[in-house]
Structure 1
Amino acid sequence: MQTVTFSTIGKPTDTLQVVDAALPEPGPGEVRIKVIASPINPSDLMFVQNLYGIQPELPSGAGFEGVGIVDALGEGVTMRTGIRVSFTAIGTWSEYVLANQRSLIPVPDTLSDEVAAQLFVNPFSAYAMLEESGLQPGQWVLLTAAGSSFSKLVIQLCKLKGIQTIGTVRHNDLDAELKALGITAIVNTKKEKLTNRVKALTEGKGVTCVLEAVGGNTASDALKCLAKGGTMILYGVLSLQNPSFNAGLMIFRELTIKGFWLTDWMRRVDSQTRQNVARNVITLLVGGQIQVPVEATYPISEIKKAVEHSEQPGRRGKILVKPNQ
């Protein structure tokens, strides 16, 4: 089978390789999955550069989620083969991959492969992070990197919940799409001062919450936009630059900064909560209330082209790897 691996830490387009490997055999509690499609997420690329919450054991596969067909069962697994599932594992950019049976989510026929491939990382994160934020109808949230697939999901969920959204961009080529999704206001940080615009939009009060993924000066400026008692949730550092925060601002406005990592959130909450999130996310996706568009698909043999495409600004959807394309 063909699979994507890397043996050294570095830029994905330099380190990723496509190799032929033996078909893996599932161990106890595992299943083998014939992969249909797998997205390229920022977390996948951070992992290859050893900038993620877990370290790769070299040589390592790449890709964290996907959709596929259960092909073989390990000892102790009671489910049947032939089921189409969303799953998480390390090494999903592959024709076949092993996954723990606990990571599998059976997907309904009404959910396309392209949507099911993206079921976990972004939709679960968006849904869970909004729950963590405690945002209520009428309140304001600031989204940095508003053009990302994650932020687009948050915008759609906030529209359903009656939450007002402000999004930062560096280019205005996605404005029409963001407005169609329901964003309340867009701030181009290259042309406008973020703090002034947020102050004007919120009648001087500031936002209740910031969902921050950029780091550096963007995060530092976003913190200044919080209302008294507000919360910033950090879930990424796309700029690879650490922000600097004003201690006095945090003290006298009683601000909270906390991180969010879906892997830890899934471990922390009970099984009923996980099942509820899965059911609610699938219902929203099947009903078309939230959408996860795809811009392009690539075969495994063109993984470097796929990664380059995924890093281009102004994308209107996710890039998928399809092993059998």
Structure 2
Amino acid sequence: MKTILFEQTGKPADILRLTDAPLPEPGPNEVRIKVIASPINPSDLMFVQNLYGIRPTLPSGAGFEGVGIVDALGEGVQMQTGTRASFTAVGTWSEYAIAHQRSLIPIPDSIPDDVAAQLFVNPFTAYAMVQDSGVPEGGWLMLTAAGSAFGKLVIQFCQMRGIRTIGTVRRNDLNDELKALGLTEVINVETENLPARVKQITDGAGVTCVLDAVGGQTASDALKCLGRGGTMIIYGVLSLDDPSVNAGLMIFRELTIKGFWLTDWMRRVDSQIRQDVAKNVVNLLASGKIQLPIDASYPLDQIAEAVEHADRPGRWGKILLKP
């Protein structure tokens, strides 16, 4: 089979290689999946660079999620071959992948492959973080990097809950599209003073929660936008720079900063919450109420072009790999 591997960590476009490998066999409680499509997420690119919470064991496959058809069952698996499912594993950028049966979510016919391929990482994270934000209906939530695929999901989930949103951008080319998705206010951090604009928008009250993916100066400025008792949830560091923290601000506004990693969230919540989130996300995608746009699709033999496109600013949708 054809699969993407890397033997050292580094810049994805330089080290990822298309390789021939033996067809894998599922072990106990595992299934083999013939992959239809797999997205390129920021977490995938960080993993390849050894910057993620899970460290690669070299040589390693790449890609954390996808959609495919179950074509072989390991011992103890109670399901049918031929099932189309969303799944998570290490090494989904491949013609075939091995996944634990617990990671599979059967997909209804109403959800197309391109959407099902993106079912887990961004939708689950966005849904869980909006829940964890504690922002009530009518309250204000701010998100940095609002034009990302994840940001678009947060905007849509917030609109459904009646939460007002402020999104930061660095260019204005996506502003109209973000407003159409439900973003209440947009702030260009290259041309506007972020804390001053948020103070103006919220009549001086500040926002209840900030979801930050950028770090660095943007996160430092975003912290100043929190109202009393507010919370910043950090789920990424796209700038690769740590934010600076104003201790006085933290003390006298009683602010909280915490991290969010979907892997840990899935471990700490009970199975009923995980099932409820899965059901809600699947139902929203099946109904078409939540959109997961695609910017482009690439075959495995164009992996360098694909990861470079995925890392390019200004994309509207996700980049998919299709074996």
Question: Which TM-score applies when normalising by structure 1?
Answer: 0.99
| CA–CA separation in structure 1 for the residues paired with 2:189 and 2:125 | 25
CA distance in 2, matches of 1:307, 1:45: 8
Corresponding residue of 1:92: 92
Deviation digits for residues 243-271 of structure 1 (CA, Å, limit 9, x no counterpart):
11001100100000000000000011111
Give me the whole-angstrom Cα distance separating, in 2, the residues matched to 1:254 and 1:15: 45
Offset at residue 314 of structure 1 (A): 1.1
Matched, 1:321 2:321: yes
Return 5+ residue gaps in structure 2 as ranges: none
Superposition CA RMSD, Å = 0.5
For residue 236 of structure 2, what is the aligned residue in structure 1? 236
Spell out the pairing of 1:124-143 with structure 2 (5 A cutoff): 124-143=124-143
Give, in whole Å, the separation in 2 of the partners of 1:227 and 1:85.
42
Distance 1:161 1:29 in 2: 38
For 2:288 and 2:108, the matched residues in 1 are separated by 14
Matching of residues 209-220 of structure 1 within 5 Å: 209-220=209-220
Distance 1:314 1:181 in 2: 16
TM-score where L is the length of structure 2:
0.99
Matched position secondary structure for 1:128: helix
Cα deviation for residue 313 of structure 1 reads: 1.1
- The amino acid of 2:253's aligned partner reads R
TM-fit CA distance, 1:288 = 1.2
**SS of structure 1 residue aligned to 2:68:** strand
Residue 268 (structure 1) aligns with: 268
Which residue identity is paired with 1:53? G
Q: Structure 1 residue 178 and structure 2 residue 178: aligned?
A: yes
Larger mean Cα displacement after TM superposition, 307-316 or 222-231:
307-316
CA distance in 2, matches of 1:14, 1:314: 22
Question: What amino acid is the match of 2:17?
Answer: Q
Q: Counterparts of 1:1-325 in structure 2 under 5 Å? A: 1-323=1-323
Sequence identity of aligned pairs in percent?
72
Structure 2 Cα separation of the partners of residues 219 and 153 of structure 1: 20
How many residue pairs are counted as aligned between the two chains?
323
Gaps of 5+ in 1: none
* 3-state SS, counterpart of residue 217 of structure 2: helix
d(CA) in 2 for partners of 1:82 and 1:223? Answer: 49
Q: Which amino acid aligns with 1:156?
A: Q
CA offsets, 1:106-163, max 9 Å, x none?
0100000000000000000000011111111110011000000001000011111110
Shift of 1:6: 0.4
What's the secondary structure of 1:227's corresponding residue?
strand
4+ runs of 1 displaced by more than 6 Å? none
